[in-house]
Amino acid sequence: MSSDPATDLPFFYGSISRSDAEQHLKLGGMADGLFLLRQCIRSLGGYVLSVVWNLEFNHYSIEKQLNGTYCIAGGRPHCGPAELCEYYSKDADGLVCNLRKPCLRPADTAIQASTFDNMKDGMLREYVRQTWNLEGDAMEQAIVSQASQLEKLIATTAHEKMPWFHGKIPRHEGERRLYAGVQPDGKFLVREKDETGSFALSVMYGKTPYHYRIEQDKSGKYSMPEGTKFDTLWQLVEYLRMKPDGMVTVLREACVHGTSAEKRTPVLPAVRRHGNGYTPPPAALLRPGVTKLPETDDSDNNPYHNPNEVRKFTIQRSQLMIDEVELGSGNFGCVKRGVLQTDKGQIDVAIKVLKNENEKLVRDEMMREAEIMYQLDNIYIVRMLGLCSGEHLMLVMEMAAAGPLHKFLSSNKETVSVENIVNLMHQVSMGMKYLEEKNFVHRDLAARNVLLVNQNFAKISDFGLSKALGADDNYYKARTGGKWPLKWYAPECLNYHKFSSKSDVWSFGVTMWEAFSYGGKPYKKMKGAEVTSFIESGKRMDCPAACPEPMYTVMSECWIYKHEERPDFKKVEASMRSYNSSISTQTSPEGAAAAAKPVK
Ligand code: ADP
Ligand code: MG
């Protein structure tokens, strides 16, 4: 299904190393402008363009942008690798020279598939089957509509399926396994270190095991200490098979994990143990007038991206068909159903239509919401597809057809099991953990703002009140109060107007309460002020009838009065995950599928 868009190019080599690329160019004659294209092993979906000039090699990395376009940092965006190469063949536009002669792949050389390419499709299917309990057509549909998001998600957990990944074992056990059997130099394994979810690499050299800590930076990228950074763990390992990057040796033979996959701790790909894992390549800075494009050396931590640079992408009014059907409404205007026409086909969308765009305040608010959403890229968060200024200003989002969580639950009490709700709330916690890592506060997390794609797939929405925190801040201070959802707000929000991920955790607790009471109204008929004194006096809502005890424990922890003592989403997600996987192993014979009921 998701074949590489460069597959048809005769000068595309797939996942080959830099030195292999240089070898091919040498064999190709080293003429000025001789070039080839290869897969980038650092960033998902990216490429490297290798060009000869003056008997020297130049390597340019091509990143895939959030909106699906490709560009060399600082250069123009193009809709595909072919278009990009065609463009640079006519105009050097910052490269050492224009692309003059493709270095053609010899007839006997196949495109080198990366390990992940070979596993991808199977993993996608398994993931969708397990996590959302979909089969057949419904599964194919989900895969098609979510393909790019799913690929990233799967990529971040792909290492769990690798023969060299041994899970959580102590260092001495790692050594024992390396010593077992023959011990060639470069025999290696990766293990998980402890609860913090960090990893270590153990490698044999001269019959001695060496251990290296794998580092993960704030944005979730993996590297050896001071080394090249990668989106995913398996990419790092692939790279270390080619370059030692500070280690005693390159990695060679995998020390194969002996036990069968079933005997391992059940691996739920939905579970991201290690940060959000994937951080999207942020929109490149487009700098007009820049003449020289930065070259990649495959080993830099490219500083040319500014994650705060928001490039708003525009949707033409002609690409959009708007239904009369209203999905919902608010004081900004209403949300309508529609269809967006793209190069790849039609997509169902939800369109937030601004009612009174002449009011600058309202317009600014919508632009802020769009800017926040544009920076988010997580499967459990509703994605913004673009802005369209037609008869009104419109925010186009992916469609979550099954609507708000509280409504869905209250009208489907008979068909939604408690396990199903646990799974959905775990998904919400994963989305929130991502927000926390990215330093965003939501400020309006509630069941009404959790939308369902289907019965087993939830996404967080409504970023109307959300804020991006500064790098050094851990809270947002609202200067004035406003139309606030008081029943969802933590004490420090009401008392000091301080909003942080911890106050979102409080709201998550209330959202859980709503979910486990099948869409019930929190704090019954109490008024805002009554709720405040209820909380201040140390009281909390009771456990909803259907709610499992461990879930009420999580809820209660979310309602710890002092935010310093309240768990963060990293912790909350871990609790949700562990309970979710404990019940899903009990209820399904395979021990892996979530216990939720299938759709239909
Ligand atoms: P408000 O700020 O007024 O709460 P929301 O973003 O929550 O605005 O949208 C209002 C309603 O519109 C939601 O409750 C939901 O019913 C509908 N809606 C919003 N976004 C979507 C979407 N992506 N898919 C489906 N329905 C949506
Ligand atoms: Mg809302």
pLDDT digits (tens, 9 = 90+) for 441-482: 999 999 999 999 989 899 999 999 998 888 778 888 887 777
Mean pLDDT of 253-275: 46
pTM above 0.75, yes or no: no
Q: How far apart are CA 484 and CA 496, in angstroms?
A: 14
Number of H helices, E strands in the chain: 14, 22
List the beta strands (DSSP E) in 9-125.
34-39, 47-53, 56-64, 70-72, 101-102
Reported confidence tier of residue 534, pLDDT bands at 50, 70, 90 = very high
Domain 317-398 fold is Phosphorylase Kinase; domain 1 (3.30.200)
- Atom 16, ligand 1: which residue's CA is nearest? 328
Backbone angles phi, psi at 125, to 5 degrees: -65, -45
Given its phi and psi angles, is residue 417 left (phi above 0), alpha (psi -120 to 50 degrees) or beta?
Answer: beta
The CATH number of the domain covering residues in 117-300: 3.30.505.10
Q: Which ligand is nearest to the CA of 330?
A: 1
Backbone angles phi, psi at 86, to 5 degrees: -65, -40
pLDDT digit string, tens, across residues 336-363: 999 998 877 788 899 999 877 667 778 8
pLDDT digit string, tens, across residues 298-314: 332 222 222 222 334 78
Nearest CA to 366 out of 375, 353, 380, 376 is that of 353
Reported confidence tier of residue 216, pLDDT bands at 50, 70, 90 = confident
Q: How far apart are CA 329 and CA 169, in angstroms?
A: 52
Give ion ligand 2 contacts, CB < 5 A: 449, 462
* pLDDT score at 311: 36
% of the chain at pLDDT higher than 90: 50
Mean pLDDT of 481-498: 91
Q: Which ligand is nearest to the CA of 446?
A: 2
Nearest CA to 34 out of 15, 14, 57, 18 is that of 57
Angle formed at CA 245 by CA 241 and CA 251, multiple of 5 degrees: 25
Would the pLDDT of 597 be above 70?
no
CA of 551 to the centre of ligand 2 (A): 25
One-letter identity of residue 480: T
Catalytic residue among 444, 462, 542, 568: 444
- Atom 25, ligand 1: which residue's CA is nearest? 400
One-letter identity of residue 52: V
Measured from the Cα of 382, ligand 1's closest atom is 23
* pLDDT score at 294: 42
CA of 483 to the centre of ligand 1 (A): 17
Would the pLDDT of 143 be above 90?
no
Burial letters 304-334, b for 16+ CB under 10 A, else e: beeeeebeebebeeeebebeeeebeeeebbe
Nearest CA to 514 out of 421, 388, 378 is that of 421
Residue extent(s) of CATH 3.30.505.10 domains in the chain: 18-102, 117-300
The CATH number of the domain covering residues in 18-102: 3.30.505.10
One-letter identity of residue 463: F
Contact 46, 64 (CB under 8 A): yes
- Atom 13, ligand 1: which residue's CA is nearest? 328
The CATH number of the domain covering residues in 403-591: 1.10.510.10
Ligand 1 contacts (CB < 6 A) are 327-328, 330, 332, 335, 350, 382, 397, 399-400, 403-404, 448-449, 451, 461-462, 464
Based on the residue annotation, tell me whether 473 is a catalytic residue of this protein: no
Measured from the Cα of 397, ligand 1's closest atom is 23
Residue 371 has a CB neighbour count (10 Å cut-off) of 17
CA of 329 to the centre of ligand 2 (A): 9
Pocket perturbation via mutation, ligand 1, pick of 451, 452, 484 by most ligand atoms within 8 A of CB: 451
CA of 350 to the centre of ligand 2 (A): 13
User: 65-69, 283-287, 403-407, 490-494: lowest mean pLDDT where?
Assistant: 283-287
